[in-house]
């Protein structure tokens, strides 16, 4: 791996990391989109979509409520998507390794977001007098500084995570001993369990939601087994 | 409107197009300087700055500066529904409402705009769009239709809400509270919750089927495992989040698969 491979991934991670909170929150940072875009960059969009869908199942649990601390999926999904798409034949363990890489990055990404928010507070304190005096420059520069820092945060995180985790993933895939289909089944079962738990937490209080869920499940299972 | 500012009324009937566009684009960056002390505060000031430029006294006046300082104080709301506050505050500042009234209004608006937005968007529209897209993925759609559905559906709601909020806030000014009783905001979360429950039921088995691939050798076992796994995660009641748990389990799987 060389710098020319890492830089486009890092730039994409930076842009999608920015979308999580700072700008424009259009959800291009959701795993379904971010991992697919990383797949496009690596040359295998379908692989990106596949791992993006699995990560999206997990991400359903972590929605960006207010001031809560949550994992950062934008940059992490780029790392996971790029790692999986760089093994386009989908060898045994590729999906599991890509998911572990994405989850590790999302964990660290959440921590970097907290640090960024603390830095924003420090920069705001440094400008308190100017802000209290109604300075246009202070308001605008604080906003631009926060967004620039977020962009850099996402890009550095993605670049470092990809550079470190992609070779580790390749090494693990080369030594993988478990059947490919079994490995993938276990990975998706874990992701879907998180999605099932998350959906229950979100909708169980909604009147009639259980029956709507059962209705949907019947349709889904019927479709799955008849096609 | 206060009598003292009546001469400026003509300026406040509608915002110039350029100002509206500028405010809208800035609304997309309202959380750019989000922090644990002032939260969205600086973002609100940043969004309102183009409107405050319309004050007849100009940008070097005391009125402009005190308005910008006031609007950059602590503020909390859902980022999309903050557009309601920005529209209303723009109106109030141009109308020359008393500063104390504007500050009381800002404080009062924080709670409702936060809770309504969280329930409508984060707990409703986003999971629904995500699950519906996963269902489309599970049905075998190729890359671009899945992405196009998710991004178009989600952002129709996202941008629609921001535009509605800005217009509604501007139209009603400090009297915007009754507009928050809009049926979409009141009943929307319940209805979207039901749709999302249906989408969950359809999406999970179909997505599993697509990821595993053709053949049914593992499908039944995976579906049973998912039902049990979901039950365990619900019973854990947040003692450990599912994504952390899945990280540890998957990492263990990697170690076992590589070492054993």
Determine, for residues B210 and A96 on separate chains, whether the beta-carbon distance falls below 8 Å.
Answer: no
Compute the mean pLDDT over every residue in chain A, rounded to the nearest whole number. Answer: 96
The four Cα atoms B155, A39, B199, B152 give a dihedral, to 10 degrees, of 20
> Does the predicted TM-score (pTM) go above 0.90?
yes
Q: What single string gives the DSSP state of each residue in A90-138?
A: --TTHHHHHHHHHHHHHHHHHHHHHHHHHHHHHHHHHTHHHHHTT-HHH
Q: A1 falls in which pLDDT band (50, 70, 90)?
A: confident
- The residue of chain A with its CA nearest to that of B200 is A213
Q: A85 falls in which pLDDT band (50, 70, 90)?
A: very high
pLDDT for position A65: 79
Residue A22, CA atoms < 13 Å, CB-side half-sphere: 27
Determine, for residues B130 and A67 on separate chains, whether the beta-carbon distance falls below 8 Å.
Answer: no
Name which of B66, B201, B249 is nearest A219 (Cβ-Cβ): B201
- The residue of chain A with its CA nearest to that of B228 is A193
Q: Computed from CA positions of residues B144, B146, B147, B150, in that sequence, does the dihedral angle turn out positive or negative?
A: positive
Name which of B29, B37, B230 is nearest A124 (Cβ-Cβ): B37
pLDDT for position B12: 52
Name which of B32, B127, B257 is nearest A176 (Cβ-Cβ): B257
Determine, for residues B232 and A99 on separate chains, whether the beta-carbon distance falls below 8 Å.
Answer: no
Chain A contact for B163 (CB, 8 A cutoff): no
Name which of B28, B67, B246 is nearest A24 (Cβ-Cβ): B28
Listed by number, the residues of chain B in 194-213 with a beta carbon closer than 8 Å to a beta carbon of chain A are 194-213
- Chain B residues whose CB is inside 8 A of the A218 CB are 201
CB A50 within 8 A of CB B146: no
Inter-chain CB pairs, A–B, below 8 Å: 347
- What distances in angstroms separate CA B43 from CA B26, B35, B63, B114, B204, one per listed residue? 8, 10, 19, 15, 38
Mean pLDDT of A15-36: 98
- Chain B residues whose CB is inside 8 A of the A195 CB are 200, 204, 230
Determine, for residues B122 and A65 on separate chains, whether the beta-carbon distance falls below 8 Å.
Answer: yes
pLDDT for position B218: 86
Give the count of beta carbons closer than 10 Å to the beta carbon of residue B258: 17
Determine, for residues B258 and A176 on separate chains, whether the beta-carbon distance falls below 8 Å.
Answer: yes
Residue ranges in chain B whose pLDDT is less than 70? 1-12
- Chain A residues whose CB is inside 8 A of the B127 CB are 60, 63, 198-199, 202
A35 pLDDT higher than 80: yes
Domain ranges of chain B: 3-214, 218-260
Name which of B69, B195, B241 is nearest A134 (Cβ-Cβ): B69
Chain A contact for B255 (CB, 8 A cutoff): no
As for how many domains chain A has, the answer is: 1
Mean pLDDT of A200-219: 93
Cα separation, B25 vs B102, in Å, equals 24
pLDDT for position B7: 38
Listed by number, the residues of chain B in 34-63 with a beta carbon closer than 8 Å to a beta carbon of chain A are 34-39, 42-43, 45-46, 49, 59
Distance from CA of B176 to the nearest CA of A (A): 22
For residues B42 and A225, which has the higher predicted lDDT (pLDDT)? B42
List the domain range (segments joined by +) for residue A8.
Answer: 3-226
pLDDT for position B215: 76
Determine, for residues B34 and A140 on separate chains, whether the beta-carbon distance falls below 8 Å.
Answer: no
Q: A204 falls in which pLDDT band (50, 70, 90)?
A: confident
Name which of A27, A193, A220 is nearest B233 (Cβ-Cβ): A193
Chain A contact for B175 (CB, 8 A cutoff): no
Residues sharing a CB contact under 8 Å with residue A161, sequence separation 6 or more, in sequence order: A75, A76, A79, A101, A104, A105, A108
- Chain A residues whose CB is inside 8 A of the B156 CB are none
Determine, for residues A195 and B200 on separate chains, whether the beta-carbon distance falls below 8 Å.
Answer: yes
């Amino acid at each position: 791996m060389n710098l020319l491979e890492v830089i486009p991934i890092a730039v994409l991670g930076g842009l999608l990391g920015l979308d999580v909170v700072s700008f424009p929150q259009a959800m291009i940072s959701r795993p379904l989109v971010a991992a697919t875009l990383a797949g496009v960059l690596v040359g295998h969009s379908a692989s990106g979509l596949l791992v993006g869908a699995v990560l999206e199942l997990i991400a359903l649990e972590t929605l960006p409520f207010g001031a809560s601390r949550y994992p950062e999926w934008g940059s992490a999904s780029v790392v996971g998507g790029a790692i999986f798409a760089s093994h386009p034949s989908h060898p045994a363990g590729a999906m599991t390794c890509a998911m572990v890489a994405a989850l590790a990055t999302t964990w660290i990404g959440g921590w970097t977001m907290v640090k960024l928010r603390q830095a924003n507070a420090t920069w705001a304190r440094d400008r308190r007098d100017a802000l209290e005096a109604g300075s246009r420059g202070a308001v605008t520069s604080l906003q631009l500084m926060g967004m620039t820092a977020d962009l850099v945060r996402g890009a550095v995180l993605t670049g470092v995570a990809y550079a470190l985790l992609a070779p580790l993933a390749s090494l693990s895939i080369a030594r993988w001993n478990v059947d490919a289909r079994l490995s993938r089944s276990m990975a998706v079962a874990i992701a879907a369990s998180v999605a099932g738990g998350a959906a229950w937490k979100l909708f169980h209080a909604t009147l009639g939601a259980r029956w709507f869920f059962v209705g949907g499940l019947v349709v889904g299972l019927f479709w799955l087994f008849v096609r | 409107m206060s009598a003292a500012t009546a001469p400026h009324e003509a300026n406040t009937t509608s915002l110039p197009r350029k100002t509206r566009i500028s405010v809208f684009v800035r609304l997309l960056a309202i959380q750019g300087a989000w922090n644990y002390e002032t939260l969205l505060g600086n973002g609100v000031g940043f969004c309102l700055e183009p409107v405050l430029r319309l004050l007849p006294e100009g940008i070097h006046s005391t009125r402009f500066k005190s308005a910008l300082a006031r609007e950059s104080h602590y503020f909390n709301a859902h980022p999309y529904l903050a557009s309601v506050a920005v529209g209303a505050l723009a109106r109030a500042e141009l109308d020359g409402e008393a500063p104390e009234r504007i500050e009381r209004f800002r404080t009062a608006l924080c709670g409702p705009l936060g809770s309504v937005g969280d329930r409508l968007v984060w707990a409703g529209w986003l999971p629904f769009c995500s699950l519906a897209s996963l269902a489309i993925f599970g049905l075998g759609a190729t890359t671009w239709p899945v992405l196009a559905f998710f991004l178009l559906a989600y952002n129709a709601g996202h941008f629609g809400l921001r535009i509605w909020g800005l217009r509604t806030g501007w139209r009603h000014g400090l009297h915007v509270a009754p507009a928050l009783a809009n049926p979409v905001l009141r009943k929307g979360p319940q209805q979207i919750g039901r749709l999302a429950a249906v989408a969950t039921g359809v999406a999970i088995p179909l997505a599993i089927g697509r990821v595993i691939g053709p053949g049914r050798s593992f499908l039944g076992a995976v579906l049973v495992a998912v039902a049990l796994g979901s039950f365990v995660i619900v019973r854990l009641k947040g003692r450990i989040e599912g994504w952390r748990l899945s990280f540890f389990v998957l990492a263990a799987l990697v170690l076992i698969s590589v070492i054993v």
